[in-house]
Amino acid sequence: MADEVADEVQPKRRQARGERRMAQILDASAVVIARTGYERATTIAIATEAGISPGSLYQFFRNKKAIAEALADRFVTELGAAHRSAFDSTDFAAIPLDEVLDRIVDPIVAFNIANPGFKALFARPDMPEGLTDAARPIQAALLDRIEAMIAVRAPELPEAERHRTARVGINLFQALIPLVVATEEAERPLMVAELKKALRGYLGPVIG
Amino acid sequence: MADEVADEVQPKRRQARGERRMAQILDASAVVIARTGYERATTIAIATEAGISPGSLYQFFRNKKAIAEALADRFVTELGAAHRSAFDSTDFAAIPLDEVLDRIVDPIVAFNIANPGFKALFARPDMPEGLTDAARPIQAALLDRIEAMIAVRAPELPEAERHRTARVGINLFQALIPLVVATEEAERPLMVAELKKALRGYLGPVIG
DNA sequence: GAGTAACGCGACTGATTATTCGCAAACGAT
DNA sequence: ATCGTTTGCGAATAATCAGTCGCGTTACTC
């Protein structure tokens, strides 16, 4: 149970081939982790999926946890971009609620559909200590953005209530995402519509 | 990956002492699984928590998976009771929506608070094949009950839409449950209120 | 084109953990 | 009290899997 401290550092010189291998390994681990979860994702399965030998994994990553962390970093970066595209350069005071929801929901739904490994990595509890931490900053940032959006549209709402509303709203959103992703493509727009209905129903009385 | 078929049967004669031990073991496994998840719940940890030796576990359960299955059965039984107490002997056509929500939400929330191991067992992906299956019948039953409730209050709603509304409503509920459970006791009523707000917001336009 | 470092392999090692085994103690019926 | 069964133990066993090692290959650098 005793966890090591100070694991980072040591950039190490790489060839272009190596960079490609690392990306390949991350792709493979996303697939395997999405399929089985972290605990059951064996290093051999990841290596096989990547088409390399198990020993080669350790040429690029210190251990299994480091692979998951690198994958998490990659997701966090991409999700951050999705968030920015959802929130930046939008004046949330000036548009109707339905459009607010469209602007926020659509890009994040798109991200989740495009990255099925994402949920597996962050939403599942069978991971090494500190891996969920990687997602914390971006979750916090999302919470801040939602709170700011609420504050703009309902300035008189007490802070505690605003905070709680944002938290519940995010949870609600995250809860329905799996349902949307699991729905076959043809039905998906209907599910997205339901998701927005749920958000509108909850947020409408406050920031409608 | 090859799974055994036909595992059940073989009731075996037991002393009263043995029955008590089995209950003890299930209690212990609920605690350990709630704490660590199924994969990380070692048989030694379960035995220690139960105050017995690892060998003794196998006097009562064929293997680790059988323990989880027995625990799942127990939860399913208790949850079924919670559902019945929520749905039976209530005329959903005759009462306002807020009361409908109270009647349904409160007992299920209470069950989840009283059984922290429940979520760990069913919501986590690190479980033996077929364990999630144990929960399927009861989920299906819940879906039916919710659909019936909606049908009573909104008879003109097309079936497909009724079905989708029920599914989304259940997901929404299940999503916010962890938030309620994780909230410290003093704040909990506020979170339950938020949960009901979310449900009212989503269901209100349909069955309000 | 020689030297050096990165890359690649797959068998091996060490630790962990589910399960078994042999034996002893406690029960329950007669 | 006595016999057969259930219960109880904890050391031994066997499987799995993360991570290592030694050695060969490939790619840059000069």
Lowest mean pLDDT among A6-15, A20-29, A95-104, A127-136: A6-15
Query: For the CA atoms of chain B, what is the radius of gyration?
Result: 20
The 10s digit of each residue's pLDDT in B50-64 is: 999 999 999 999 999
Q: Of A153, A159, A160, A158, which is closest to residue A205 (Cα–Cα)?
A: A153
Q: Best residue in A194, A203, A206, A207 to probe B by mutation, most B CBs within 10 Å?
A: A194
The 10s digit of each residue's pLDDT in B124-158 is: 767 777 777 778 889 899 999 999 999 999 999 99
Q: What is the per-residue pLDDT for B125?
A: 67
Q: At residue A127, does pLDDT exceed 80?
A: no
The 10s digit of each residue's pLDDT in A148-161 is: 999 999 999 999 99
The 10s digit of each residue's pLDDT in A76-125 is: 999 999 999 889 888 999 999 999 999 999 999 999 999 988 888 877 76
Q: At residue B73, does pLDDT exceed 90?
A: yes
Q: What is the per-residue pLDDT for B98?
A: 96
More confident residue, A49 or A7: A49
More confident residue, B139 or B28: B28
CA dihedral over A143, A144, A150, A153, signed as positive or negative: negative
pLDDT band at B47; cut points 50, 70, 90: very high
Q: What is the per-residue pLDDT for A108?
A: 94
Q: At residue A137, does pLDDT exceed 60?
A: yes
Q: What is the per-residue pLDDT for B3?
A: 39
CB–CB contacts below 8 A, A to B? 85
Q: Which amino acid is at A92?
A: F
Closest Cβ opposite residue B124 in set A36, A126, A194: A126
Q: What is the per-residue pLDDT for B15?
A: 79
Residues 29-68 on chain A lying near strand D, CB distance under 7 A: 40-44, 54-55, 58, 63-65
Distance B29 CA to D12 C1' (A): 25
Strand D and B56 CB separated by under 7 Å: yes
Q: At residue B42, does pLDDT exceed 70?
A: yes
Number of residues that this document lists for chain A = 208
List residues of chain A with CB under 8 Å from any CB of chain B. Answer: 36-37, 39-40, 120, 124-126, 164-165, 167-168, 171-172, 174-176, 178-179, 190-191, 194-195, 197-198, 200-205
Q: At residue A197, does pLDDT exceed 90?
A: yes
Ramachandran class of B187: left when φ > 0, alpha when ψ lies in -120 to 50, beta otherwise: alpha
Cα angle: B125, vertex B131, B133; to 5 degrees: 105
Task: Write out chain B residues lying below 8 Å of A164, CB-based.
Answer: 190-191, 194
Query: Are B7 and B65 in contact, with CB atoms under 8 Å apart?
Result: no
Residue-range domains of chain A with CATH: 13-61 (1.10.10.60), 64-207 (1.10.357.10)
pLDDT band at B25; cut points 50, 70, 90: very high
Name the packing angle between helices A159-182 and A131-153 (round to 10°): 120
The mean pLDDT value of chain A amounts to 89
Distance B58 CA to C20 C1' (A): 10
Burial of A181 (0-12, 13-18, 19+ CB in 10 A): middle
Q: What is the per-residue pLDDT for A1?
A: 39
The 10s digit of each residue's pLDDT in B86-120 is: 898 889 999 999 999 999 999 999 999 999 889 88
Q: At residue B6, does pLDDT exceed 60?
A: no
Q: At residue A4, does pLDDT exceed 80?
A: no
More confident residue, A73 or B6: A73
CA distance linking residue A161 with residue B110, whole number of Å: 24
Q: At residue A186, does pLDDT exceed 50?
A: yes
H helices present in chain A, as ranges: 16-36, 43-50, 54-60, 64-87, 97-114, 116-122, 131-153, 159-182, 188-207
Query: Are B93 and B153 in contact, with CB atoms under 8 Å apart?
Result: yes
Closest Cβ opposite residue B125 in set A37, A201, A204: A37
List residues of chain B with CB under 8 Å from any CB of chain A. Answer: 37, 39-40, 120, 124-126, 164-165, 167-168, 171-172, 174-176, 178-179, 190-191, 194-195, 197-198, 200-205
CA distances from B33 to A2, A160, A176, B68, B159 (A): 21, 34, 26, 9, 39
On the CB side of B105, CA atoms within 13 Å amount to 25
pLDDT band at B81; cut points 50, 70, 90: very high
Q: What is the per-residue pLDDT for B130?
A: 72
pLDDT band at B69; cut points 50, 70, 90: very high
Task: Write out chain B residues lying below 8 Å of A139, CB-based.
Answer: none
CA distance linking residue A42 with residue A35, whole number of Å: 12
Closest Cβ opposite residue B126 in set A39, A190, A202: A39
Query: Are A124 and A37 in contact, with CB atoms under 8 Å apart?
Result: yes
Tokens in use for B160?
């497909």
Q: Which residue of A has its CA nearest to B178?
A: A171
Q: A10 to chain B nearest CA, in Å?
A: 31
Distance B76 CA to C22 C1' (A): 38
Strand D and B155 CB separated by under 7 Å: no
In order, the DSSP letters of A17-44 are HHHHHHHHHHHHHHHHHHHH-TTT--HH
Percent of chain A at pLDDT exceeding 90: 74
